[in-house]
Amino acid sequence: EIHEPEEVSVWFREGSSCCQETLARNQRFTETPVNMPGADKETDLSERIESFLSELKRCGSGAGSLRGSAETARETTALLRRITAQARWGNAGELMEIIRKEGRRMTAAQPSETTVGNMIRRVLKIIREEYARGSSEETDQQESLHKLLTSGGSSEDNFRQHFTHLKANVIEAINELLTELEGTTDNISMQALEHIHSNEVIMTIGRSRTVEAFLKDAARKRKFHVIVAECAPFCQGHEMATSLCKEDIETTVIPDAAIFAVMSRVNKVIIGTQTVLANGGLRAVNGTHTLALAAKHHSTPLIVCAPMFKLSPQFPNEEDTFHKFVSPHEVLPFTEGEILSKVNAHCPVFDYVPPELITLFISNIGGNAPSYIYRLMSELYHPEDHEL
């Protein structure tokens, strides 16, 4: 049978029953009585949250994201700042609880958009840090192994204290996070000249705004040739090619089938990704795994340009890692006629690329090997927050 023409998302970490529960709970939360003081602020806030959720649900119908991950990250962070400012909470624990609830709803709305979950975890970590600074405890509670073993994790009672400046501090820290988000693409493109020499042939696949900015920045000073694999069935490579040509970069568009055939003349492969997983692997557009294997066969370095907000604390599961399917109409259109009822057609959107095939990650904090990703993760997220 054909898959139904709507998304079927498989997300192993979020049990579907949990989502139902959360939805029910949150509905109760947002139906506040109108005559309470500050209710306008709350309804305004909940409206915003609802509109954000519905936008999340709508985008990501397979044609790539209608807005890039950077925008999603910025909007999520802005929304979290608003929640911090406008929601009613007394201490850090309550705030974290609110954010977690909203976070679960958001990730349930679009599980494949992992930047939402990442930003939530970042903000949670910020809150923990600010709280810790406020209560003048040791800021890094994970450094000491003894503490890890004996403390039994930081329990929620620790966050019950009330600090007057906690709100301001948290909002300030979130603002810093926002500035960091604004500058990620620029930070990455600044490193372009260190990695691209002249007269190179660079291969890429699909469309990534990060890689586009990266290549355009290098093209200002160096001359090189870019080969773009079009990445059927959405053919985003075409957009990428036309956009690169505007900067006078020599571009060639090839169909996906020719990736291995032309790989022998390619000096570097530079790709973007949707998510960077905790083991250093990637969740990228379909076709990336083939590209990575071909690069490995020819010993061509594979460079991934990914800002840090794409780093997700999930590990890949055994099979069917985070697969997302869209309508098979893209692959086998309805014009094909009666054979459609006898054929299964698949249209997966993402591919898993294991870390052994990747040479380098370029992110806004510099270049890293895939084996170092787990360490970066511990700097960005608190282990308690891996499960929202």
Partner 1 sequence: MGERLTTSTLLVTEEDEKKHEIIGAKGEGKELTKEEKQRLRKEKKQHKKNKKDDRGPPEKEKEKEKASVPAPSKPATQSPAHKAAPVPVNASASESPVAAEKPAKSKAELRAERRARQDSERASKQGKKEGGQQSTSSKPKATPNELQPVVKRLPDHVQVDDPVALKKLAKKLERQQVPLRSDYGYKVSLFSHLHQYSRKNPPTQQISIPVTVIHPSIVRLGLQYSQGIIAGSNARSVALLHAFKQVIQDYSTPPNEELSRDLVNKLSPYISFLSQCRPLSASMGNAIKYIKKEISNIPSQCKEEEAKRILQECIDSYINEKIILASEAISKYAIEKISDGDVILVYGCSSLVNHILCEAFEKQRKFRVIVVDSRPRLEGREALRRLVKKGIRCTYVLISALSYILPEVSKVFLGAHALLANGYVMSRVGTSQIALVAKAYNVPVLVCCETYKFCERVQTDSFVSNELDDPDDLIVTRNGKTHLENWQTVKSLGLLNLVYDVTPPDFVDLVITDLGMIPCTSVPVVLRVKNVDQ
Is the Cα dihedral 115, 120, 121, 127 positive or negative? positive
Tell me the residue length of the chain: 388
Q: Identify whether the C-beta of residue 371 lies closer than 8 Å to the C-beta of residue 281.
A: no
Size of interface with partner 1, in residues (CB under 8 A)? 52
Contacts of 99 (CB under 8 A, 6+ apart): 80, 83, 84, 120, 123, 124, 127
Q: Which is nearer to partner 1, 258 or 360 (CB)?
A: 258
- Taking the complex as a whole, the smallest distance from the CB of residue 120 to partner 1 amounts, in Å, to 29
Site pattern 41..70 for partner 1 (x: CB under 8 A): ----------------------x-------
The least CB distance from residue 310 to partner 1, in Å, is 20
Residue 338 CB, nearest approach to partner 1 (Å): 9
Task: Considering only the stretches 10-18, 40-48, 164-172, 283-291, report the one whose residues sit in contact with partner 1 under the rule CB under 8 A.
Answer: 283-291
Least separation in angstroms between CB 348 and partner 1: 5
Stretch binding partner 1 (CB under 8 A), from 93-101, 125-133, 147-155, 224-232 = 224-232
Q: Is 266 left (phi over 0), alpha (psi -120 to 50) or beta?
A: beta
Smallest distance, partner 1 to C-beta of residue 248, A: 6
Residue 198 binds to partner 1 (criterion: CB under 8 A)? no
Task: Examine residue 255 and say whether the peptide bond preceding it is cis (omega within 30 degrees of 0).
Answer: no
By CB under 8 A, is residue 375 in contact with partner 1? no
CB 248 within 8 A of CB 224: no
User: Binding to partner 1 by residue 85, rule CB under 8 A?
Assistant: no
200 binds partner 1 (CB under 8 A): no
225 sits in which H/E element: strand 225-229
Closer by beta carbon to partner 1, 148 or else 261: 261
Residue 299 lies near partner 1 (rule: CB under 8 A): no
d(CA 281, CA 276): 6
Nearer to partner 1, 63 or 78 (CB): 63
Instruction: Say which residue the tokens 């959405």 belong to.
Output: 234
> Least distance from C-beta 139 to partner 1, angstroms?
43
Nearer to partner 1 by Cβ, of 194 and 336: the residue is 336
> What are the structure tokens assigned to 23, written together?
């939805």
Question: What span, in angstroms and rounded, lies between the C-alpha atoms of 176 and 181?
Answer: 9
Structure token pair of residue 167: 């709100």
What's the start-to-end Cα distance of the chain, in Å?
A: 36
Helix 69-86 × helix 114-134 angle, to 10°: 40
| Subset of residues 320 to 349 that bind partner 1, contact rule: CB under 8 A | 323, 331-332, 336, 339, 342-348
Taking the C-alpha atoms of residue 335 and residue 72, their distance in angstroms, rounded to an integer, is 36
The footprint of partner 1 on residues 248-267 (CB under 8 A) is 248-262, 264-265
Among residues 98, 290, 360, 367, which is the contact residue for partner 1, using CB under 8 A?
A: 290
Shortest Cβ 259–partner 1 spacing (Å): 6
Contact 200, 224 (CB under 8 A): yes
Beta carbon nearer to partner 1, 52 or 352: 352
- Whichever of 24 and 245 has its CB closer to partner 1, that residue is 245
One of 234, 309, 322, 361 touching partner 1 (CB under 8 A): 234
Which among 4, 8, 22, 189 has a CA at the least distance from the CA of 101? 22
HSE on the CB side for 351, CA within 13 Å?
19
Residues at the site binding partner 1, with contacts judged by CB under 8 A: 63, 230-235, 238-239, 241-242, 245, 248-262, 264-265, 285-287, 289-290, 293-294, 297, 319, 323, 331-332, 336, 339, 342-348, 351-352
